[in-house]
Amino acid sequence: MLSQIPVDFTKVHKENRNKEILRAAIIAELDAVNLYEQMAALTEDADIKKVLLDIAREEKTHVGEFETMLLRYDAEQVEEQAHAKKEIKELTGK
């Protein structure tokens, strides 16, 4: 993604705009996690690797923050998340 908003928010209905903003923010944070972890895997410098992985962990916190907010705005997401947990438990036994 690298700093490009994947949605034209002017075309999103007002009642869905906050949910779509939160989803775009989640995408951006996950993109950052992937980028930092990939760069950490490429560098041979231990200090750079340490910093990149620390920042990647911080981005994962941001993902959780945006997901938490999304669950406040999207009841269907809450239901589907519960359904997903049930399916995974059925499939894996855990």
Is this model's pTM higher than 0.85 or not? yes
CA distance 59 to 34: 10
User: Is pLDDT at 2 greater than 70 in this prediction?
Assistant: no
Least confident of 5-9, 52-56, 57-61: 5-9
| Alpha carbon 13 to its chain's center | 22
Whether the Cβ atoms of residue 44 and residue 65 lie closer than 8 Å to each other: no
Calpha distance 30→56 (Å, rounded) = 9
Contacts of 59 (CB under 8 A, 6+ apart): 29, 30, 32, 33, 36
- Tens of pLDDT along 21-38? 999 999 999 999 999 999
- Res. 9: pLDDT tops 60: yes
